[in-house]
Chains A and B, each alone.
Chain A
Amino acid sequence: MSSKKQSWKEVTIAGVITTPRSSLEYKTGVWRSQTPVIDYAKCTKCLICWIYCPEPTIVRITGNPEKAVEIDQNYCKGCGICAQVCPVKAIEMRQG
């Protein structure tokens, strides 16, 4: 999706999207008003957040002894479910 919006003469007829997976271009992360931040010192790598994330924007990381997950901020809508379900309160929701 280009930043310049198309005119009615430019848009495809009836808004048909002719390229599959183009929704990936739509960064739903801009909807977020709160951002989850993981405190890796507290994280026990239990992966409960990874299971519960509805989007899912919690991405598993392999081969890094420091962290088991990261948050894909391009698509995280900031719902806060991860912070709620974390058993050790390792995720904090910050404004913005």
Chain B
Amino acid sequence: MSATKEYNQKALGLRGNDAVAYAVKQANVDVIAAYPITPQTLMVEELSRFVASGELKAKYINTESEHSAMSGCIGASLAGARTFTATASQGLAYMHEALYAASGLRCPIVMAVACRALSAPINIHGDHSDVFGSRDAGWMQVFCENPQEAYDMTLLGFKLAEREDVLTPIMVNFDGFITSHCLERVEVLPDEMVNEYLPPRNAKLKLDVDKPMTFGAFALQDYYFEFKRQQHEAMEHAYRLMPEMWSEYAKLSGRNYANVRTYRLTNADVVIVSAGSTSGTARYAVDELRQQKIRAGALGIRLFRPWPGPEVLKALKNVKAVAVLDRATSLGAPGTTLYEDVATTLYALPKQPTLTNYVYGLGGRDIRTRDIVKAVRETLKLASDKKKVSPIKFLGVRE
């Protein structure tokens, strides 16, 4: 690969959906099994077009439900196929039990999720309730801020998930509508570069009539636990591999990613933690706060599972206050999903910063810079009042 590789990249105008579909096409997937109707997005529509036109030589299976889509992906993946599906919202909820089978059977499926709210009330817009509901299903999860990241994380997702020392499925999350339907400039790698990065999958253990094996056998009290422990190790191993994964991708694309995206953390007193497209808004809020002489910084969570604890700790260990913004709620819980992970991480510190928990943007409601500025000011006020935590607060709801 030449040093000028970034100049070989085409810049296209793509929505998040198109960006993922383009990456999946370039990854030369073997099987796509998906439910084609709402809450599906244009990702699989675009892919079905690639398959129909012969641009992508894959088996495209229209299933009657998301439960069947995931089941089809599991079968294909066990047969050694590079496998992709996409869903969101109720569709992801409907897949729920099969998600555990996919991770337990160690199927390296890549699934793009255009994160959306869950019914009721019926809503089709962006929030993180669906993917956070799948948090413990044993899948890796990455959050993308924009269509470019959705493209890059999809390619990297295949590379990571299919490693024989990982073999764990991955969800590539990006905000429904905000990112999935938003057209932006996306730089795409040349096909031959992707071919080199992602050669055809070569599964060591697979369903093969010439070499019969049993997948999905029973494991009771005497063995089930050992397989779950094994999955835990795969997640931890994936975490250890991430620096290598990011640097390999950076060499290829010229785009430098890390488990988290930090912004103006040097000398920061207060940090905003968020995931998805809001991380971009948080950076605008940081700039505005800095102009108002408030030393703010932002921490965007890119890798959600495995959780990048050391990076989060490093970013937050010297600050006075942290505001965690969650685009999903957890009814009756002491804190929401991202907040709880941040709180758990900060517990390792001898002296923890003030930590606030904001729920925002449910059902796709816009979050604005001024909302984040308000949250940061409240958080700093709490810190100056020597308070450590606050109950869950709601940002942007009508009181």
Binding site for B on A (CB under 8 A): 5-8, 11-18, 20, 22
A25 → chain B closest CB, angstroms:
12
Chain A: CB-nearest residue to B228: A8
Q: Which of B167, B212, B222 contacts A13 (CB 8 A)?
A: B167
Which residues from B are CB-within-8-Å of A7?
Answer: 226
B11 within 8 A of A: no
B124 → chain A closest CB, angstroms:
35
B230 within 8 A of A: yes
Which residues from B are CB-within-8-Å of A16?
Answer: 205, 213-215, 217
Chain B: CB-nearest residue to A19: B213
Q: How far is the CA of A63 from the CA of B5 in the complex (A)?
A: 79
Q: Is the CB of B223 within 8 A of A18?
A: no
Q: Is the CB of B222 within 8 A of A5?
A: yes
Which residues from B are CB-within-8-Å of A22?
Answer: 214
Which residues from A are CB-within-8-Å of B105?
Answer: 14
State which residues 184-234 of B face A: CB under 8 Å.
205, 212-217, 219, 222-223, 225-227, 229-230, 233
Q: Which of A5, A6, A11, A18 contacts B213 (CB 8 A)?
A: A18
Q: How far is the CA of A64 from the CA of B227 in the complex (A)?
A: 48
Q: How far is the CA of A14 from the CA of B222 in the complex (A)?
A: 14
Known A11-B226, A13-B106; 20 more pairs at CB < 8 Å: A5-B223, A6-B226, A8-B229, A8-B230, A11-B223, A11-B230, A12-B205, A13-B167, A13-B230, A14-B104, A14-B106, A15-B216, A15-B217, A15-B219, A15-B223, A17-B214, A18-B205, A18-B213, A20-B213, A20-B214
16 example contacts (A-B, Cβ-Cβ < 8 A) are as follows: A8-B225, A8-B226, A8-B227, A11-B226, A11-B227, A12-B205, A14-B104, A14-B105, A14-B167, A14-B227, A14-B230, A15-B219, A15-B223, A20-B212, A20-B213, A20-B214
Q: Is the CB of B213 within 8 A of A8?
A: no
Q: Which 8 A-B pairs have the closest CB atoms?
A: A17-B214, A8-B229, A8-B226, A14-B106, A20-B212, A16-B205, A8-B230, A18-B213
Q: How far is the CA of A38 from the CA of B216 in the complex (A)?
A: 38
Q: Which of B104, B213, B225, B233 contacts A17 (CB 8 A)?
A: B213
Chain A: CB-nearest residue to B104: A14
B-side interface mostly: loop
B151 → chain A closest CB, angstroms:
30
Which residues from A are CB-within-8-Å of B106?
Answer: 13-14
Which residues from A are CB-within-8-Å of B233?
Answer: 8
Q: How far is the CA of A15 from the CA of B231 in the complex (A)?
A: 11
A26 → chain B closest CB, angstroms:
10
A67 → chain B closest CB, angstroms:
35
B21 → chain A closest CB, angstroms:
29
Q: How far is the CA of A93 from the CA of B215 in the complex (A)?
A: 36
Which residues from A are CB-within-8-Å of B215?
Answer: 14, 16
Q: How far is the CA of A6 from the CA of B227 in the complex (A)?
A: 11
Which residues from B are CB-within-8-Å of A8?
Answer: 225-227, 229-230, 233
Which residues from B are CB-within-8-Å of A5?
Answer: 222-223
Chain A: CB-nearest residue to B218: A15
Q: How far is the CA of A13 from the CA of B108 in the complex (A)?
A: 13
Which residues from A are CB-within-8-Å of B223?
Answer: 5, 11, 15
Which residues from B are CB-within-8-Å of A13?
Answer: 106, 167, 205, 230
Chain A: CB-nearest residue to B207: A16
Q: How far is the CA of A5 from the CA of B221 in the complex (A)?
A: 12
Q: How far is the CA of A24 from the CA of B167 in the complex (A)?
A: 29
Chain A: CB-nearest residue to B165: A13
Chain B: CB-nearest residue to A10: B226
Q: How far is the CA of A91 from the CA of B223 in the complex (A)?
A: 36
Which residues from B are CB-within-8-Å of A12?
Answer: 205
Instruction: Given the known inter-chain contacts A5-B222, A8-B233, please indicate yes or no for A15 contacting B213, CB distance below 8 A.
Output: no
A29 → chain B closest CB, angstroms:
17
Q: Which of B167, B212, B227 contacts A15 (CB 8 A)?
A: B227
Q: How far is the CA of A8 from the CA of B226 in the complex (A)?
A: 4
Chain B: CB-nearest residue to A7: B226
B50 → chain A closest CB, angstroms:
31
A5 → chain B closest CB, angstroms:
6
Which residues from B are CB-within-8-Å of A14?
Answer: 104-106, 167, 215, 227, 230
Q: How far is the CA of A15 from the CA of B222 in the complex (A)?
A: 12
A74 → chain B closest CB, angstroms:
19
Q: How far is the CA of A12 from the CA of B216 in the complex (A)?
A: 12
Which residues from B are CB-within-8-Å of A6?
Answer: 226
Which residues from A are CB-within-8-Å of B229?
Answer: 8
Chain B: CB-nearest residue to A17: B214
